[in-house]
């Protein structure tokens, strides 16, 4: 048998949080007649508590969240180990 080896321990996963915002409603209310008309709802507002079915419905326009423009905001990593870094 070979020499004893230290068991390899995986590094804990780095948790990156994404901030997702839902903006203007894109539901075409005139699709049935061959036209294009949106309702003007500018931002999704959940109609209920997180984890419920109502959380997926917009309180302003009544549409499902999937009709609203999805934007993912990412935070840029900051190298704060540098003294001259202007970001910190």
Residue-wise pLDDT tens digits, 14-68: 566 788 899 999 999 999 999 999 999 999 999 999 999 999 999 999 999 999 9
Alpha carbon distance 62, 55 (integer Å) = 11
Residue 18: what pLDDT? 81
Alpha carbon distance 46, 44 (integer Å) = 6
pTM: predicted TM-score of the whole model, two decimal places: 0.61
Res 74 pLDDT > 80: no
Where in the sequence is the domain holding 55, given as residue range(s)? 19-73
**Residue 49 domain-assigned?**
yes
Number of domains, the chain? 1
**Residue 65 domain-assigned?**
yes
Question: pLDDT confidence of 88, banded at 50, 70, 90?
Answer: very low
């Amino acid at each position: 048998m070979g020499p004893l080896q230290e068991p390899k321990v995986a590094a804990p996963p780095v948790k990156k949080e994404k901030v997702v915002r839902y903006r203007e409603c894109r539901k075409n209310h005139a699709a049935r007649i061959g036209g294009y008309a949106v309702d003007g709802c500018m931002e999704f507002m959940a109609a209920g508590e997180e984890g419920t079915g109502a959380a997926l419905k917009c309180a302003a326009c009544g549409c499902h969240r999937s009709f609203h423009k999805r934007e993912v905001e990412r935070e840029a990593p900051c190298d704060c180990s540098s003294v001259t870094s202007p970001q910190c």
